[in-house]
A and B are shown apart, each in its own frame.
Chain A
Amino acid sequence: MKPEQIVKFVQAFFYFCGFNEIIMIMENQPPLAEKIHLELDKLLLTPNTDYWAKNEVQYIGDEKILQKSFQNDLLNTIADANIDLINNIIKNGFIEDKEKIYVVEVEESYFYKVIEGNKQIAALKMLKQRLEKGENIGKLNIDVFNQIAVFENPKKIKEYALSTFSDFMKTLSGEHENKTFKLLFSDEAKSLEKNIKNHFQNIKIKNYKGFKDDLKVGEFRRINIIAGDNNVGKTSFLEAVYLLANLNNTKGVFSICQTRGKLTNGINGETLERLMPNQIKISGTFDNKDYQVELSNYNSKKSDLDRANYRTSYELKANDLKTDINVFNTKQPEIFYEEQAQICPTVFSSPFSFLDKQLLEKYHDNAVEKGIFFEIINFINIHIDDNFLSINKVGKGSFVRFIVNHKKLGAVDLTEFGDGVQRIFYVAIMMASAENGVICIDEIENAIHYKLLVKFTKFIQTLAEKLNIQVFATTHSNECIKAFFENDYKNEEIAGFRLINTDNKISYATASGEEFQTLLENFSLDLRG
């Protein structure tokens, strides 16, 4: 763990304890860690501190950590999972400082707990046991057992065993090993389209989830409202737009897996395989150019794969671009491509999915950079709560938070406010990251009071126009659909689509602009069906 990560660790602790101000103070503090040399026997293994960034913390007390039986169980488990590391040390020796080991002192004892580097310490302890049994430890210099370089953090911190601790305990008791990994994907793929005039003009879904019969939907406008019965495929339609826009960028499929799976923490290979669509075949016209994306599932025959951990592979083809994805049980997928590209910047907003804080930070920064952040605060101030003075970003990456400067309540975390305020804020800042691109908003009306819908829809429309964004939004609210027209802002730019499932075949009905408005207002059309 790097010094700055130690700081984050402490921040995490204070965050969980509710001492938010200390985190802010710590933002500008240099990391404190001192290099010392200790005997290997003085070091105690500590479960799962590597995964401190995850949620669902569970405290393991010093009393437990000091138990010899607990240490033996930990040692066997960690060392067993790192046979490769042990063999590597036998072969090459132990290189100090290659990966820093961080420790903290256990109060009223002469032991230190390892808060980073448990794998290395476990490997060394295992090799020490082998040496004591007279076994060969190869090139390992035995001096390391008496004097190993570690970094001590002088702060009195508690270490936390996190969600994976329960899995770890299962391992101790002989149950299965169920390691997870964080699904990572780049949000920086190259955009192929820049000066966009028409955005998506049509989309043809040949194969994606319930769409099996070459459904071609067209005549899109800037604002596209998708409605229909439950389970008819509205969200899948949004996903299809999102997947096509992302071409061979793995962000497309992976973020949909995250949204569908409502993933907040890690994922394992089995879950990823379950969430990944087996087949995707989507094409469409964007700014007068034809694009297509195709995903297929296969078993790789490559010899250099980690076979013991391998599950399956996917090929993501888009026009002349290609990405191969190898999925493993307990580690990040391997991704191979010459170039990852997307048609345009695309964001997906769902009220039901976990908001990735690192992405939120990026959305916020973009909103500031594009000059719309003030408009967002202004909107909230005028239409929702005139005590909102500002919203400030605090922290970074996984620990980013938004603190509202409230005239009456003082500094309050945005999450303390209603879902409606949060939804408006998040959707609006996301739009900044969809400039010259597409935003897909699932259940756009979710959490927003009906009286606010006219203003909110107009706000979305004005942002969409200002940033040249095409909007695809699903809704279950007829009030919301009407609000798009009642706000009287560029009604000609609005199209409505009703998805219809008849005997498992999906079709659609559509109207746009003035015609759509007439049907709504004069013929009581309910787009939802």
Chain B
Amino acid sequence: MEQTLTFLFCEGKHEPPFIRRLLKVDGWRNRTDQPMTEYPNVLQRYLLGELNKYATIEESVSWTRKIGFMPWYVLRKRQNNLEHFIVIWDTGGDSNYKVMNEVLKSFKVIKNTTGFGEITSIPINVALFYDADKSISDRIKTVQSNLSEILPNFCSDLRNEEKLFKQISNQTDNFNKVGLFVFANEAGKGTLEDYIIPLMEKDNEPIFNAASDFIKLSEEGKQEKKWSEQKALIGVTGQLQKAGKSNAVIITDCDYITNDKIKKDKNAQQLIEFIQKVID
């Protein structure tokens, strides 16, 4: 069965579990814990190469804990006689864009590698996920600045035409498709949490209202807020179900988000639709 490979590069640690949760509803199966032998050949080789780079006794335990740049999840879905694989990475924020670039740079060469039989060239897609933060146009400028060397054609194609920004380019920069999805609200600002919290809050309003009030207590008397109220909200409400766990685990496992809610949520469906278009 022919294979395709799609990389989803996320800005932070919370996108991977959220996206994985949406994709699970869409029929994708988690293969992260499976032996790498079932992965596409180029993915196997790449991951193995990364591990080998750092497998040395000369490094400290604390350093090896952060070993390489490995993906969060590998998902698989069989569709139309094709075996699709999605690999979800957390790029670690804007300042770490070079790590993502290294992965992209590596996989860019695969398209032209036809002669070496052991390295199987397959269609590779790329999707990038970022928060709009203050504005979509600022985000696009940052993306262009960070990625123009690796994805020059895609970056020059980027246009700020929609408030809810999403764009896909076909056959560009040695990839089958490259897409950008910016998390933003109707005002063209915002973050991933603008997608997560409405999903969690729906049918759980009393808990979220109370949590919100609770959070506001801590703001009293403080001049400057150094933390995200939205992240705090996920954390506070999440502790009621997954005590002691991180926000990433809460997003992955909490009951505030259900399959039914995902299927009915407009934003979630837009996100799934975007990924599907990148893969198709």
State which of B42, B49, B53, B109 has its C-beta within 8 Å of the C-beta of A515. Answer: B109
Q: Which of B11-19, B111-119, B134-142, B258-266 contacts A (4 or more CB under 8 A)?
A: B111-119
Chain A interface extent, by class: 10 to 19
Please tell me if the beta carbons of B116 and A498 are within 8 angstroms of each other in the complex: yes
Measured between alpha carbons, how far is A521 from B68 in the docked complex, in Å?
14
Interface string of B218-236 (1 = CB under 8 A from A): 0000000000000000000
8 pairs, A vs B, C-beta closer than 8 Å: A500-B115, A511-B109, A511-B116, A515-B113, A519-B109, A522-B49, A523-B49, A523-B110
Q: Across the interface, do A519 and B119 meet the contact criterion of CB distance under 8 Å?
A: yes
Given the known inter-chain contacts A521-B49, A523-B49, A524-B49, please indicate yes or no for A509 contacting B116, CB distance below 8 A: yes
- Interface residue ranges, A against B (CB under 8 Å): 498, 500, 507-511, 514-515, 518-519, 521-526
Hey, what's the 0/1 contact readout for B157-172 against A, CB within 8 Å counting as 1? 0000000000000000
Q: Is the CB of A525 within 8 A of B46?
A: no
Partner of A518, one of B53, B109, B115, B118: B109
Contact of B112 among A500, A508, A515, A524 (CB under 8 A): A515
The docked-state distance in angstroms from the alpha carbon of A160 to that of B109 is 65
Across the interface, do B115 and A509 meet the contact criterion of CB distance under 8 Å? Answer: yes
B46/A508 in contact, CB under 8 A: no
Q: Are A522 and B106 in contact (CB under 8 A)?
A: yes
A526 to B, closest residue via Cβ = B118
A519 near B113 with CB under 8 A, answer yes
A523 touches B115 (CB 8 A): no
B50, B109, B112, B117: residue with the most chain A Cβ atoms closer than 10 Å? B109
Query: In the assembled complex, how far is the CB of residue A509 from the closest CB belonging to chain B, in whole angstroms?
Result: 2
User: Is B55 an interface position by the 8 A CB rule?
Assistant: no
* Shortest distance between the CB of A516 and any CB in chain B (Å): 9
Given A511-B113, A515-B112; A523-B119 close (CB under 8 Å): yes
Whole-angstrom CA separation of A401 from B53 in the bound complex: 46
Q: In the assembled complex, which residues on chain B have CB atoms less than 8 Å from the CB atom of A523? A: 42, 45-46, 49, 106, 110, 119
B48 within 8 A of A: yes
For the residues of B in contact with A, the DSSP-based class is helix
Q: How far is the CA of A507 from the CA of B118 in the complex (A)?
A: 15
Task: Convert B49-72 into 0s and 1s, putting 1 for each residue whose CB lies closer than 8 angstroms to a CB of A.
Answer: 110110000000000000000000
Extra pairs beyond A522-B49, A523-B46, A523-B119 (13, CB < 8 Å): A500-B115, A508-B115, A509-B114, A509-B116, A511-B113, A514-B105, A514-B109, A515-B113, A519-B109, A521-B53, A522-B50, A523-B106, A524-B45
Closest 8 CB pairs of A and B: A509-B115, A523-B45, A515-B109, A522-B106, A509-B116, A518-B109, A522-B49, A518-B106
Minimum CB–CB distance for A498 against chain B, Å: 7
Task: Please name all residues of chain B whose beta carbon is closer than 8 Å to the beta carbon of A498 when the two chains form the complex.
Answer: 115-116
**A residues less than 8 Å from B112 (CB atoms):** 515
Contacts of B105 in A (CB 8 A): 514, 518
CB distance from B170 to the nearest CB of A (A): 23
* A275 → B minimal CB distance (Å): 33
- Which of A509, A518, A522, A524: most chain B Cβ within 10 A? A522
A522's contact among B46, B116, B117, by CB below 8 Å, is which? B46
Cβ-defined partner of A519 (8 Å) among B50, B52, B114, B116:
B116
Cβ–Cβ < 8 Å partners of A525 in chain B = 116, 118-119
For A507, list chain B residues within 8 Å (CB).
115
Tell me the nearest residue of chain B to A508, going by C-beta. Answer: B115
Cα distance A522–B51 when bound, in Å?
10
B-chain residues with CB within 8 Å of residue A500 when the two chains form the complex? 115
Residues on A with beta carbons closer than 8 Å to the beta carbon of B115: 498, 500, 507-510
Q: How many angstroms between the C-alpha atoms of A519 and B115 in the bound complex?
A: 12
Instruction: Give every chain A residue within 8 A of B116 (Cβ-Cβ).
Output: 498, 509, 511, 519, 525
Question: Distance (Å) between the CB of A479 and the closest chain B CB?
Answer: 14
CB of B174 to closest CB in A, whole Å: 10
Interface flags, B114-134, vs A, CB<8A=1, else 0:
111111000000000000000
Question: Could you tell me the distance in whole angstroms from the C-beta of B5 to the nearest C-beta in chain A?
Answer: 13
CA distance A500 to B112 in the complex (A): 18
Most B C-beta atoms less than 10 A away, residue of A507, A515, A521: A515
Bound-state Cα–Cα, A498 to B114, Å: 12
Smallest Cβ distance from B98 to chain A, in angstroms?
15
Q: Scoring B residues 248 to 278 as 1 if CB is less than 8 Å from chain A, else 0, what string do you get?
A: 0000000000000000000000000000000
Known A-B contacts A498-B116, A509-B115, A519-B116; the reply to A524 vs B106 at CB < 8 A is no
| Cα-based distance from A376 to B116 in the complex (angstroms) | 36
Distance, CA A525 to CA B116, complexed state (A): 8
Within 8 A of A (CB), among B77-107: 105-106
In the bound complex, how far is the Cα of B232 from the Cα of A465, in angstroms? 60
* CA A523 to CA B53, docked complex, whole Å: 11
On chain B, the residues within 8 Å of A521 by CB distance are: 49, 53
Quick one: closest A residue to B116, CB to CB? A509
Q: Min CB distance, A500 to chain B, in Å?
A: 8
Q: How far is the CB of A419 from chain B (nearest CB, A)?
A: 31
- Residue-wise, chain B 32-53 has the 8 Å CB interface mask toward A (1 for contact) of 0000000000100110111011
- Bound complex: CA of A176 vs CA of B112, how far in Å? 61
Residues in B whose Cβ lies below 8 Å from that of A508 = 115
- Alpha-carbon distance between A521 and B103 when the two chains are bound, in angstroms: 12
The answer for the CA separation of A524 and B50 in the assembled complex, in Å, is 10
Contacts of A522 in B (CB 8 A): 45-46, 49-50, 106
Chain B residue nearest in CB terms to A496:
B116
